[in-house]
Amino acid sequence: MKNNYIIPDEWSIIENTFDKQKVTASESIFSIGNGYMGQRANFEEDYSGDSLQGSYIGGIYYPDKTRVGWWKNGYPEYFAKVLNAPNWIGIHIKINGEILDLNTTDVKDFYRELNMKEAWLKRSFTAVLSNGNAVQIESLRLLSMQHKEVGAIRYSIKPLNFSGQIEISPYIDSGIKNQDANYDEYFWKILKVQEVEDEAFILSETLKTGFVVCTGMKNKFSLNGEEVSAEKHVEKLEKSIAFQYKFEVKQGDELTLFKYATYMQSMNYPVEELCQVARNTLQNATKIGFDRLLELQKESWQKIWETADIQIEGDVKAQQGIRFNIFQLNQTYTGEDARLNIGPKGFTGEKYGGSTYWDTEAYCIPFYMATKNKKVAKNLLLYRYHQLDKAIENAEKLGIKNGAALYPMVTMNGEECHNEWEITFEEIHRNGSMVYAIYNYVNYTKDYEYIPQYGMEVILSIARFWVQRANFSNDKNKYVILGVTGPNEYENNVNNNWYTNYLAQWNLNFAVENINYIKKKYPEDFKRIVKKRNLKESEIGQWKTVADQMYLPYTDKLDLFLQQDGFLDKEIIPVSQLPASERPINQKWSWDRILRSCYIKQADVLQGMFFFENHFDDKTLEKHFDFYEPITVHESSLSPCVHSIIASKLDKPDKAYEMYLRTSRLDLDDYNHEVDEGLHITSMAGTWMSIVQGFGGLRNFDYKLSFAPKIPKEWKAYSYKINYRGAILQVYKSQTEAKFTNLSDVSVQIEVFDKTYVLEPQKMVRI
């Protein structure tokens, strides 16, 4: 392990030293969220050192100007940024007139804990100010899972060596910026700053996108456990409002502020009602009280963990790692709202714009499908269904017509909002994962109805795209797909990326198969789809023709599918021969050198073989793994999990474990020295897959559920649960046995190492 800063613990993320160099990294790692909003672990009190302030509200973004030197036709108009939302956590503290600022104060006994079981963030420390006053501080913060629009903080101050005055000024502030604002601009327009009795509100609107948010706060105090009140002085500025309270305290007293805050936003309520709803919510939260909110938080998370938890025996760091991943995924997306999705950095940073990528379909769906109910995965699919018309517009911008759809590589609302040409125009493989996700969902849930009701429109519009984007090569006597970038972004404008062509071919066949099936079995839906999407019978024939004659790059010499045409012209030198000082290559090499090299950023051919493992025998899989793994640099966090799963399948336990470690504690141990920018949320789903599909060997092809459980030698045992078509199954694997327990009231058929077992309700099978 590179970094032992985080204390190993099964259920908590803990740090017990105050290191100013690590403040921004810890702000990411200790982030909290509840699917509706998220908050980096910024300090409540003032901090003049380095910090990335970050509060985020799901779905709220800003279409920023893009900085592109050389504009190209077809570029999107803007780059979407997840917006830093008004600050709700802030509390200015003065001790006998001196500001409490951890950057200038002597800090002792610093302790911070993110309790994942109960979903709260705690921080305590002793501060000795330059006036000699020592105070003991403890804060506890949560974003309520049950009352999604509510955040609450309990902040206690104890004077240790003096009696005197403590000034506490909780505030809310809309004068916030994005660190990644191109021109140092503000993105919020303030409409109203208002106080009503002991509550304060700021109504602000995002520029251009016009999202309106009412941020509110309400405060209560206690002294030594008894509720107290104090006169407040209101400091109302143009963009912020603070309530200043002064307390005379004695040495050893404990003064506690309970700060309740809320965001109400215009995606959910009419603008004119926002402040009133915010008021009602704050009053209700105060009535419930901090302790009860904390109890409710524990209850909500207990339910989440009931199915989502993975237990690993004999390796605390691995246990902490996997729980951290599961925890963060649940903090990011809870699945009730089909307008929201999972940004690669979730609510933990600004990078990647907080937008939706193919990561959701390729990596996240299996996690949400198995650990929640099917509605959650369905909402993720519906997100894309609702954006189909925008995907059609997007394809039109690139000259691809007749209702063909190209889903954006990066999006907030269905429009493409990323403008590196090699990504926007060329990384068209993302279209394939939209269809793959539908296939995966239907296979797992057996909810076939989804296809006639919604999925078919997406599938056929994407089939239309492939038919037009491919062209017939007279030379090859095949259809080819030219000028693409595969998942491996370390090569651009290549011809016939195997992954893209294979996926396109599969998409086309899948479209043919399903439209024919729907025609027969769901004639009413068939009629509706044909009419709505103006589908002609002849198109289906075309899909078939292109699929049948799709070119797949291959070399006889090595009997291998090639990453793309001409791949073997490259000098093939294994990554192991690169000096450590030259890695990661994306930080050490010039871009042209990367493009010319054989190094693969992330699973590409192997990504395809992972999706369609049932199409290849083990020998073929192994040959490709042995060729591509040594030249893959895994400089995308999405890569090691795929290699780990394949290595497990191929009985390469050391490789599987090595790759697993790279994904599981990527952020906790800050492998890539970039955790300060935010966590790698979408790759966390890959870590979950590395255990459940990798070591656990779960597969779900042909509507069947099968397992081939293995276990790393480093662990004593592990177990996980899945929700399979409404039945909860528990899988346990130790070094000597595997147990499958059906915790539900319906029987479930599974295969284990190719043998069929029927798991009767509430019964266990030991293997």
User: What residues line the site for ligand BGC (CB under 6 A)?
Assistant: 344, 352, 357-359, 487, 489, 602, 636, 638, 682
The nearest distance, CB 165 to ligand BGC, in angstroms, is 50
Give the residue with the Cβ less far from ligand BGC, 262 or 636: 636
Give the residue with the Cβ less far from ligand BGC, 211 or 352: 352
The nearest distance, CB 410 to ligand BGC, in angstroms, is 8
Which SS3 state, helix, strand or coil, does residue 536 take?
coil
Give the residue with the Cβ less far from ligand BGC, 159 or 487: 487
Supply 22's token pair: 């690590």
- Alpha-carbon span 233 to 94, nearest angstrom: 14
- Alpha-carbon span 102 to 29, nearest angstrom: 19
DSSP state of 708: -
Range 361-364 contact pairs with CB under 8 angstroms and sequence separation of 24 or more = 361/430, 361/433, 361/434, 361/436, 361/437, 362/433, 362/436, 362/437, 362/607, 362/611, 362/638, 363/638, 363/641, 363/682, 363/683, 363/685, 363/686, 363/689, 364/329, 364/333, 364/682, 364/685
Q: Where are the alpha helices (DSSP H) in 522-590?
A: 523-533, 537-548, 585-588
Give the residue with the Cβ less far from ligand BGC, 418 or 649: 418
- Alpha-carbon span 712 to 387, nearest angstrom: 42
The nearest distance, CB 684 to ligand BGC, in angstroms, is 11
Give the residue with the Cβ less far from ligand BGC, 320 or 440: 440
Backbone angles phi, psi at 236, to 5 degrees: -105, 120
Give the residue with the Cβ less far from ligand BGC, 365 or 638: 638
Question: Which listed residue (205, 489, 629, 677) is catalytic?
Answer: 489
- Alpha-carbon span 565 to 495, nearest angstrom: 6
Check: CB of residue 496 under 8 Å from CB of residue 482: yes
Burial 150-188 (b: 16+ CB within 10 A, else e): bbbbbbbbbbeebeeebbbbbbbbbebebeebeeeeebb
- Alpha-carbon span 514 to 3, nearest angstrom: 50
Which residue is at the shortest CB distance from ligand BGC?
A: 344
Give the residue with the Cβ less far from ligand BGC, 155 or 425: 425
Give the residue with the Cβ less far from ligand BGC, 343 or 694: 343
Length of the chain: 767
**Dihedral sign for Cα atoms in the order 460, 463, 467, 468:** positive
Q: Is 336 a catalytic residue?
A: no
Supply 27's token pair: 């702000």
Interaxial angle between packed helices 456-469 and 523-533, expressed in degrees from 0 to 180 and rounded to the nearest 10: 50
Interaxial angle between packed helices 653-664 and 316-332, expressed in degrees from 0 to 180 and rounded to the nearest 10: 50
Supply 532's token pair: 């709505």
DSSP strand E in 510-669: where?
554-555, 560-561
Of 561, 451, 554, nearest in space to 510 by CA: 451
Backbone angles phi, psi at 134, to 5 degrees: -110, 135
Give the residue with the Cβ less far from ligand BGC, 352 or 479: 352
- Where does residue 37 rank: exposed (0-12), middle (13-18), buried (19+ CB within 10 A)? buried
- Alpha-carbon span 482 to 195, nearest angstrom: 61
Check: CB of residue 181 under 8 Å from CB of residue 220: no
- DSSP secondary structure letters along 370-428: HHS-HHHHHHHHHHHHHTHHHHHHHHHHTT--TT-----SSBSSSS-----HHHHTT-T
Give the residue with the Cβ less far from ligand BGC, 98 or 422: 422
The nearest distance, CB 301 to ligand BGC, in angstroms, is 26
User: What is the 3-state secondary structure of 711-755?
Assistant: CCCCCCEEEEEEEECCEEEEEEEECCCEEEEECCCCCEEEEECCE
Give the residue with the Cβ less far from ligand BGC, 87 or 636: 636
Residue positions annotated with a catalytic role: 489
